[in-house]
Amino acid sequence: MMFKPLNSPIKNWSSRRVWLIGASSGIGAALAQDLLARGAKVAVSARREDALKSVVGQHSNAFVYAFNVMHTAAWPDALARVEQALGEVDLIVLGAARYDPQHSWEIDLDAVRASYELNVISMYAGLHTLVPYMLNKPGRGVALISSISGYTGLPRALVYGASKAALQNLTETLYFELAPKGVSVYLINPGFVETPMTAVNDFHMPSLITPKQAAKEIVKGFEKGQFEISFPKGFATTLRWVARLPYRLRFWLLHRMTNM
């Protein structure tokens, strides 16, 4: 029992119905394209319908539904529309997010509020509708996209890192409570991925990968039944171990690693 996968491994994507929220660009878009190519039925959601249509192209196994994830009242209708199009949904991936790089001496409260509204509160808004739905039929799964920046405090991640740390704690609690009831729960922790969000960074991003590479890592994690799907492996593992060090040593190492 100790060495069994924490979730049920997914082996046959052609029989899966997946709903991706935050799929208009970056990792979400690449994951949609990867799963569509594997034969899964995929619904994609975000605010921009035109961008979503561009992501799925002419795939007959795709469904586009645009809505604002921060509107709690919009979620029940969104779920109903997706289920009507795909049938019962097996896996839901929550990935809507924004990135507002800030230092502690330049806090922008409007950006802080906007980040938490999208990165954290929208997740609760979705879960408010989705958890009862998943409990209604064991075997379903939900994945939250966080970030390895949630492992420890990092330069310019004053807002983003803190919001992603909140998601890590949230997802751990979801697993603790839902896994015994037959619901698979996944925590996705990417490192630096070449997306519109990271394009604003003016510093070297270690182990930078493409969205397509990120999507393949996520699919691999689903297929192995992993709880935490973190990548790229070397960088993610290093940062996790740094985060476990005593603070005096951790801060010293992070200063040397980031030249700050």
pLDDT tens figures, 96-119: 998 888 889 999 999 999 999 999
pLDDT digits (tens, 9 = 90+) for 18-50: 999 999 999 999 999 999 999 999 999 999 999
- The number of folded domains in the chain is 1
Give, in degrees to the nearest 5, the angle at Cα 27 between 24 and 29.
35
Q: Per the domain annotation, does 8 fall within a domain? A: no
What pLDDT score was predicted for residue 166? 97
CATH number for the domain harbouring residue 138:
3.40.50.720
Q: What is this structure's pTM?
A: 0.93
Q: Per the domain annotation, does 204 fall within a domain? A: yes
Q: Per the domain annotation, does 7 fall within a domain? A: no
Q: Per the domain annotation, does 133 fall within a domain? A: yes
Exposed / middle / buried, residue 225 (Cβ in 10 Å: 0-12, 13-18, 19+): middle
133 noted as active-site residue: no
Check pLDDT > 60 for residue 89: yes
pLDDT tier for residue 197 given thresholds of 50, 70 and 90: low
99, 160, 175, 186: the catalytic one is 160
CA distances from 5 to 2, 135, 215 (A): 9, 20, 20
Give the containing element (helix H, strand E) for 231. Answer: strand 228-231
Structure tokens at 108: 């922008």
